[in-house]
Structures are given as C-alpha cells and as structure tokens.
Amino acid sequence: MLVNCPETPPTPSGPHRVVALVAPDQELYPVTAASAVFGYHGPDIPQHYSFRLCAEHPGSLPTTLGVPIQVDDGLEALDGADTVLLAGWTIASSPAVLGAVSRAHARGARLVAVCAGILIPAALGLLDGRRASVHWELSAEVAARHPRVVLDDTVIYVDHGDVATAGASAATGDLCLHQVLQEHGAAHAMRIGRQLAAGPHREGCQRQYPPLPTTGPMPDSLAPLLEWLLSRLPDPVTVEDMAAFSGVSARTLTRQFTAQLGVPPAHWLLERRLAATRALLEETDLPVETIATRVGLSSAVNLRRRFHTALRTTPAAYRRSFR
C-alpha cells in the first residue's frame, strides 16, 4: 500500500529531522543508504532534511563491517525526531527502546522499519491488522510473535504514512526516495536519485528478490532494456518491440520482467511515463498536450485519464500543488 500524494507540500519551520536508532553489531548499509537520501546534496539541491544517529547505550558501537561507529546521542534524541529509522538485524525491543519509540510515534513521528526493525512497531501494536513488508528469512518468526500483522515477504516496502516497512536492506534507498517524492515531489526525488546515480526508483509493489528460473537461462540484468526504454520514452513501444530488442519472445520477456521487477513491462513503462509527467508538471509550464507527447502518452486526454487513475487527481491540480 502506497500513500497518495498530499494536496499541498508540507511547509515545516526547519529541516525534517531524521534520527536513526542503531545498536551494537549494526549493519551499516541501511543507515548509510538513508543518510545518502536524507543528507546534504550540495548547494544546488534544497536541504529539506537533517540526519543523526542515536542508541540506547551511546558510545563506540561495533558494526558488521568490522569497524566501530561513534554514537553520541541516547534515546532522548527521539523526542525531537520527525522520522525514526529502525534499521538492521540487532535492534533490541527493550522497554526503554519501546517506550521512546512509542512516545515519538504518539507525538507524530513517522517510523521507518527495515529488516528486523519491524519487530519494534509490531511489538507496539502499530501494525496490527495492517500489511507490512518483511524479509523472507524473518517472516516465520514475526508471524509467530505477532500474528495480527499482515505480513508480505514478496514486496520491497509498504508505506502507511505513520509507519513504513522495508523487508530488505537494499530497499532502504527506494523507500526513502519514495518518502521524499511524497513530501517534496517527483522532481526533487529524481534530482537526488540522479545525484546518487541510483537506478530507476522501485515502487513498493516490486519483489524483494527474483525467483529462481524454472526453465531456461535467466538474463543477468534488464539494465540494457530499461535504459533503451527510458531513451525512447516519447515513442510508441510495444512489448513486441521490447522483446525484439532483448532477443526473446514477448511471452518470455514478460515472464522474466515480472519476475525481476514485480510488474509487467507495459506497467513499468507507464510508471516511468507518469513519473516523467510529474517532473514536467513540477518544473515547467509546458501545456499538458506537449507533456503528453514528450512522455509518450500520445494525447492530453490519454494523459489525464492515466494520471487520474494512478494518482486520483488531475494534472492541473497536481501542478497547482507542487509548482
């Protein structure tokens, strides 16, 4: 489940404060991925976020990388957090941690739980009756401990607004970019993604990992096809065209594409065209007819229909909100 775009962008008095709660033997990747998205991007990109670390027991903490990190702030740092990142496999659900996180959430802070971080909002009852992304290695344990959580070990993240979950560490950047997009628009999120040289932003419905092929060889990567599609965004491209580029049948391409990205190729291409539409609505004054031609949606009527189906708003209303 993904959160719809707000009617108007937020206007906080200062940077949105992101605080990552870390623990001994911390996995660094989700923490550094989040800091890369929410951190400083130079003078040309507006700074909407601040990022810091805290721990239940501050000091020098060992990491899975083999080198320690110095954490100076304790749980009191969560008292001023707008977003609390719960990342890694070793976060303990101690009474002190649960109390600090619960108070932050009750105050209005957003919780972002990655990997075993899901155990904290689950223990607080914040995911009861709600869908949550969980790592496939953890799904049985979480289901046994918290049977009221609706677990999904196939999608890479689920965002309910107040609580977001990502099953795998590698999805941290995707989830954080998704939240930047929700709060500051597609154009700002795309600028950060381009600076980080990130691949195309993955939607939460995409799978955590590709299943093993049952027959025939699996391609190493769809990157050449994806780059070709992005370079031909204004052109009419069919699944048969994609298959011809890849040297496989349309049926095989659809199966491989869906296995790796979680959506059929035509759906993925439509998502990219809508993302480009949002960026052009935010950054330019181009008429809808021109945008439709540039992004390959053929006509203003078709663009408006597709846009409303995906975002439940019109291009004109979206532009008024985000320009």
For residue range 258-282, list pLDDT tens digits in order.
Answer: 888 778 899 989 988 998 898 898 8
Residues forming a β-bridge with 163: 111
When mean pLDDT is compared across 2-6, 86-90, 295-299, the lowest value belongs to 2-6
Residues 172 and 33 sit within 8 Å (Cβ to Cβ): yes
Distance between CA atoms of residues 155 and 135, nearest Å: 9
The CA distances from residue 211 to 54, 108, 135, 157, 256, in Å, are 37, 38, 14, 17, 10
Distance between CA atoms of residues 188 and 16, nearest Å: 15
Residue 199 pLDDT greater than 60, yes or no: no
Distance between CA atoms of residues 19 and 177, nearest Å: 16
Q: Residues 53-81: what's their mean pLDDT?
A: 94
Q: Residues 37-58: what's their mean pLDDT?
A: 91
Distance between CA atoms of residues 251 and 163, nearest Å: 38
Q: What is the pTM of this model?
A: 0.61
- Residue 221 is predicted with a pLDDT of 61
Question: Any idea what the Cα angle at residue 315 is, between residues 314 and 317, rounded to 5°?
Answer: 65
- Rounded-to-5 percentages of helix, strand, coil across the chain: 45, 15, 40
Element (H, E) at 273: helix 265-283
Tell me the fold of 16-195.
Rossmann fold (3.40.50)
The residue with greater pLDDT, 267 or 91, is 267
Distance between CA atoms of residues 28 and 10, nearest Å: 30
Residues of CATH 3.40.50.880 domain(s) within the chain? 16-195
Q: Which of 20, 8, 41, 2 is nearest to 202 (CA)?
A: 2
The CATH superfamily of 219-323 is Homeodomain-like (1.10.10.60)
Confidence band, pLDDT 50/70/90 cuts, at residue 320:
confident
Residues 193 and 210 sit within 8 Å (Cβ to Cβ): no
Residues 146 and 113 sit within 8 Å (Cβ to Cβ): no
- Residue 212 is predicted with a pLDDT of 30
What integer best gives the mean pLDDT of the chain?
84
End-to-end C-alpha distance for the chain, whole angstroms:
26
Distance between CA atoms of residues 158 and 135, nearest Å: 12
The residue with greater pLDDT, 263 or 33, is 33
For residue range 220-262, list pLDDT tens digits in order.
Answer: 568 788 888 888 899 999 999 999 998 989 999 998 888 887 7
- Residue 317 is predicted with a pLDDT of 86
Using DSSP's 3-state secondary structure scheme, residue 20 falls into strand
Residues of CATH 1.10.10.60 domain(s) within the chain? 219-323
Residues 101 and 111 sit within 8 Å (Cβ to Cβ): yes
Distance between CA atoms of residues 45 and 259, nearest Å: 35
Distance between CA atoms of residues 321 and 315, nearest Å: 10
**CA 84, chain centre distance (Å):** 15
